[in-house]
Every structure is written in structure tokens, then in C-alpha cells.
Amino acid sequence: MKDREEMTDTIEVLKKGIKNQLESATVTLQLVHQSDDCPENISKILYNQIGALVFCDEELDKLYECLNLLDSLIVFSKIVA
């Protein structure tokens, strides 16, 4: 059981790390995008990239929710069996 707990902890750390990196990249791109020194053509590209990162972040939330539900079902099925 300890291995499962350690694996669960590791997965949670990875999930938080991925989310943090996505959010950090989004904020960084937003800062560059909002800079007065950012050329318009680069600004348009950054705007699209920011949108893609926000979309990925939202989809990760949905994926993590599904994985948590799946994990709960697996645990429940082991209890019932």
C-alpha cells in the first residue's frame, strides 16, 4: 500500500508542476504581449499562443478530474470485489 501512496504523491506533484509551468508560461507570454516594445506581428502570435495555453490548462483540469473519478472507481471496485 505504501508504494501506491508514494505513487499517488508523485503523481500529484507532477500534476501541480505541469499546471504551474503552464500558468507561468502564460503569464510570461502575457507580459511580453503587453509590452510596448512588442511588435504587432509578434503580439498577434503571442495572443494565439496564450489562448492555446489557457485552453490546455482548462483541458488538463478536465483530464485530472476524469483521472480522479477513474481512480475512485478502481478503488471502489477493489473494495466491492
SS (H, E, C) 42-57: HHHHHHHHHHHHHHHH
Dist CA 6 CA 35 (whole Å):
43
Percent of the chain with pLDDT over 70: 98
* pTM of the full structure: 0.79
Q: Which helix (H) or strand (E) holds 68?
A: helix 40-80
Q: Dihedral sign, CA of 21, 49, 41, 36?
A: negative
pLDDT one-digit tens code per residue, 38-72: 999 999 999 999 999 999 999 999 999 998 899 88
**CB neighbourhood size of 46 (10 A):** 19
